[in-house]
Structure 1
Amino acid sequence: MKKITIADHKIISKIKLSNLPSILDLETNDDDIKKELKKVRKKLGKLQDTLYAHGKYSILVCLQGMDTSGKDSLIREVFKDFNARGVEVMSFKVPTELELKHDYLWRHYLALPARGKFGVHNRTHYENVLVTRVHPNYILGEKLPNIHSVEDVNDKFWDTRFNQINNFEKHLAENGTLIFKFFMNLSKDEQKRRLLRRLDLKQKNWKFSAGDLKERKLWDNYMDCYQDAINRTSKEHAPWFNIPADNKPAARLAVATILYNTLKEYKDIKEPELDDKTKANLHLYKEQLNNE
C-alpha cells in the first residue's frame, strides 16, 4: 500500500483547485484500506485517551466539502474507536433565529471543544465565506449595521470577514487548540454518481434534496469560493489539507493518518504523573483495599 504523508496533502502555498487531485490511489484494494483504517483509528483512540488525561490541548477538526463528499460517513468511520466522552460532533445548518441575533462566529465559539477533547465540525465557520458568498443575499439576514443591500456585500466586506476568521483561528491556536481543516475534494462527476445513487436506492432516498441540484448548478461558483478561502486562510497554525474524496475508504484513511501522525509528534501530550506523596503510598492504598 502506498504511504500517506502529511506533505502530500497539506496546503502550504497558493493553490489552483483544479490542479488538486480528487482521487487518492493507494495502489491497493478497498478491503486493505479498511483494515489499515482500523489500525490507525485504534491508535488515534488511544492517543485521545492520553490527550483527555493530559487536559491541555483541544483538537478542532473542520470538515468542508460539497454535498455527497462523504463527511458524515467519514466521521462515523474515523472516530469509531473514540471514548464517547472525548469527542463532540457538531453539524452546522442554516442559522437559527437566535443565532442570527449574534455575530456569525458566536455559534461556532459555543461549539468549541474543551481542553482534552476533539471537536469535529461537519460544515464549519467557513460556511460564512462559502455559501454566503455564493448567495450574498443571505448576509442581509444577519442584519449588520452597515449592510443595507447586496451591493454592500463587496470585496471589502469579504476582506474583513477573512481577517476575522484568521484572527479567530489564531486566537484559538494561541490558547491551546490544534486546528485541522480538511477540504473534501470531490469531483463533479463523482457527485453526480452519488446523487443518482440516492435516487436509485430506496434506502438512500431520504438523503436526497431537490436543493442539491440547484446548488450543483453553482458548482463553478463554489469552487472559486473554496479556492479563495483556502488560499487566504491556510496558515501554519491552522492548515488546510486537500483530501481527495472520490474514493471514500482512501479519504477516511488519509484524514485518520494525518491526524495521528501530526498529533503523535506532540511529545508533551502524555498522561500526568501521580504526585510524590500518592506514589510513595501506593502500597498502603493497595493494602487498605485488600484488607476490606
Structure 2
Amino acid sequence: MDLKKYKVSKEIKLANSQTFEIIDEAKQELKKLRKKISKLQDTMYAEGKYGILVCLQGMDTSGKDSLIREVFKDVNARGVIVHSFKVPTELELKHDFMWRHYVALPPKGKIGVFNRTHYENVLVTRVHPEYVFAENIPTVNSLDDLDDAFYHSRMERINQFEKHLSDNGTIVLKFFLNLSKEEQKNRLLRRLEIEKKNWKFSAGDLKERKLWDKYEECYEDLLNKTSTDYAPWYVVPADDKDSARYIVAKTLLEEMQKYNFQEPELQQKVLDQIDEFKAQLHNE
C-alpha cells in the first residue's frame, strides 16, 4: 500500500480530495498493525531517544475518539498519553497560544496523541475570530487586526515549534480525517436516532455544520502552509472508519520502523557479573 498518496507534499484542494475508501480486511489487518506498534513502542521506551506526537484534526464526527481507541488498544497504557484540547481555560489564556500544547508534549519513549491540536488556533479562531480577544493580545484591538497575515504568522510559529520538536527527538505526524458533509449528516442523525448515542449530540454541532465551507477553506490553507518534511500532514479518507484507522496505524508503523529503535545493551561490568547475580537469587 502506497501511503504517499495521502501525504501533503504539494498544494492540495480539499474539494478534490478523497473522503471515501474501502481497504479490504482493514479491521483484521489493524489488529496486526497495533501489535507491531506496541512492540516498537516498548523498544522506543527502552532506548529513550525519541518520542512521537500524533496530531488528529477533522470535522465534528470524523471519528477521532474511536480511532484513538482502536489504533492504540494494544499499546502499554503507560506508553500512550492522550490530550483532548477544549476551550482554553483562564490559566491557559494567560499564556501564549502554544503554551498549553507545549506542556502536554510526550516525553521520550512515549506516544502523545493530540485529539484536536495547536491547529485549532488557526482554525476555530479563524472561523470565529472574536475568540482571539480572550487572549488579550496587545496588538489585537479589533477584528481588522485578525487578517490573513495574523493567521499566517501563527502558522509560521507552529512550523518553527514543530521543527524544534523534530530536532530534539519528537517524531511529529499529523492526520486530517477528511469526512464528507453527507457522511457527517448521517453520523449526526445516528446520534439522534440511536438512544445510546444521544449523549454525543450537541446542538452546537449543527451551528458549526452551517460553517462547513469556511472550515474547509481554513483547513485547506493550513494543510498547504504547515505540511513539512519534518512534520507532514496526511489527508485520510474518513467516511469509512475501519479504513481510516488502518491508514493511520499503517502510517505510524512505517514511520516508527524507519528509526530502527534499539534496546540498550547492559554495561560490561553488569554482563560480567550476570552469573553472580543469578546465583544470589537462586540461593535466597
TM-score, normalised to structure 2, is 0.98
Residue of structure 2 in register with 1:105 after alignment: 98
Letter of the aligned partner of 1:278 in structure 2? V
Residue of structure 2 in register with 1:165 after alignment: 158
Residue of structure 1 in register with 2:149 after alignment: 156
- 1:284 Cα deviation from its structure 2 partner: 1.2
Residue of structure 1 in register with 2:169 after alignment: 176
Equivalent residue runs for 1:1-292 within 5 Å: 3=1, 5-26=2-23, 28=24, 32-267=25-260, 269-292=261-284
- 1:10 Cα deviation from its structure 2 partner: 1.1
Name the stretch that deviates more: 194-203 or 281-290. 281-290
Distance 2:258 2:173 in 1: 15
- 1:282 Cα deviation from its structure 2 partner: 1.1
Identity of aligned residues (%): 61
- 1:262 Cα deviation from its structure 2 partner: 1.3
- 1:85 Cα deviation from its structure 2 partner: 1.2
- 1:138 Cα deviation from its structure 2 partner: 0.6
Q: How many residues align?
A: 284
CA offsets 1:11-47 (integer angstroms, 9 cap, x no match)? 1111111111011222x3xxx3211110100000010
Q: Match of 1:11, SS?
A: coil
Letter of the aligned partner of 1:10 in structure 2? K
Q: Match of 2:90, SS?
A: coil
Where do 4+ consecutive residues of structure 1 move more than 6 Å?
none
CA offsets 1:160-204 (integer angstroms, 9 cap, x no match)? 111111111111111111000000000000000000000000100
Letter of the aligned partner of 1:56 in structure 2? K
Letter of the aligned partner of 1:188 in structure 2? K
- 1:159 Cα deviation from its structure 2 partner: 2.1
Unaligned regions of 5+ residues in structure 2, if any? none
- 1:6 Cα deviation from its structure 2 partner: 2.1
RMSD (CA atoms): 0.8
- 1:248 Cα deviation from its structure 2 partner: 0.3
Unaligned regions of 5+ residues in structure 1, if any? none
